[in-house]
Amino acid sequence: MKAVVEGVRIAGLRAVVPSQRHSFVEDPGIFTPEEVRKLAATIGVHERRVLAPPYCASDLCVAAAEGLMAQLDWDPASVEVLIFVSQDADYVLPATACIMQKRLGLPTSTAAFDVPLGCSGYVYGLWIASRLLGGSTARRALVLCGDNATRHLHPEDRATLPLFGDAGSATALEVDPEATPISVVIGTDGAGAPHIFVKAGGKRHCLIPPVASANRAIDPDAAAALERDSRLALNGAEVFSFTLRAVPPLLRETMEHAGTDIDGIDRFVLHQANAFMLEHLRKKVKAPTDKFVIDMQGFGNTSSASIPLAICHSLGRELAERRVKTLMAGFGVGWSWGGMVANLGPMPEPQVVNLPDDYPVLVV
């Protein structure tokens, strides 16, 4: 599917990360020094940010939204679209976006809802928000993308433990008749569902522990299976194969749809899956190294937050000074993918900040 959005601009971005750090380079844990050396070179991660309970992905995103609205001098009453893109809702119900609307002081006229997407979620969220602005009386929107992936990881899973980190982000959009068009390409292939998978937790496979009764003891095998199924399962070989098969055509199709080419793109910012994979993609599409952002050394793979986090961390100063034609592309869990070409900047400098240790938690 393809779309062109007109009359909407991206006004600002902010990312928030936990202050707690963990580095397998400095604290190898279950890995040998040689394994750590190879891991760091391959996945490109030196340390990750880990969100401690009782905080959730929503707390990171709300903090990002509060800081961004203050930076833009936006009155919360002027925001009437709120989209929370995350695989880590606070509760089964209600939608976390409803709780966020109240926390942020947005008006009751706000359209607030969740989009439970991961790696492609940032592009989807921007596309949905921009279309809502273009087809309603709303003038401003917030897209909040964040995940708390570290809580899905098994402490002995050598495939996922060194890779994933936690982060949240906020992106502000507003109606602007002078804005340059935003070009979008979206796709889905549900055949990839089993390859990045948390099986338990939904209604198909509930997280209800086996119950002991007077006549039946807890089945230890069932309990162990439930624990395993509640953790992230990642088939690295299938993910890599999908990425090399689907993403280069996505990048080329997105540029063609936007009427440009590699020379016309200032920066490529893709989902920060792992450094080895990103370098393969860069070579596949023949993008120059200086245009292609690989920035996950200090954060890890942060799922839906990885694109805005990379933009804030790598391009913040540049976006404060000039307009940057940016190709953003998310891809992964689902399989699901999305590409977008948009002009970013000049704007108030996007920032990455730590979540304050005393940040208040709202429990309903």
The string of pLDDT tens digits covering residues 58-81 is: 999 999 999 999 999 999 999 999
Q: What is the pLDDT of residue 218?
A: 63
Q: Is the per-residue pLDDT at 211 higher than 80? A: no
**Percent of the residues in the chain that have a pLDDT greater than 90, as a whole number:** 75
Q: What is the pLDDT of residue 121?
A: 97
Q: What is the pLDDT of residue 37?
A: 86
Q: Is the per-residue pLDDT at 212 higher than 60? A: no
What is the rounded average pLDDT of the residues 309-328?
Answer: 98
The whole-angstrom separation of Cα 62 and Cα 60 is: 6
Residue ranges of domains in the chain: 2-189+234-354
Kindly report the backbone phi and psi dihedral angles of residue 11, in degrees, each rounded to the nearest multiple of 5, phi listed first.
-95, -20
Q: What is the pLDDT of residue 362?
A: 74
**Percent of the residues in the chain that have a pLDDT greater than 70, as a whole number:** 96
Read off the tokens for 303: 């799922």
Q: What is the pLDDT of residues 177-208, one digit of tens each?
A: 999 999 999 999 999 999 888 887 887 877 66
Identify the H or E element spanning 279: helix 275-285
Domain 2-189+234-354 maps to which CATH number in 3.40.47.10, 3.20.20.80, 3.30.110.70, 3.20.20.70? Answer: 3.40.47.10
Kindly report the backbone phi and psi dihedral angles of residue 315, in degrees, each rounded to the nearest multiple of 5, phi listed first.
-120, 5
Q: What is the pLDDT of residues 252-286, one digit of tens each?
A: 999 999 999 999 999 999 999 999 999 999 999 99
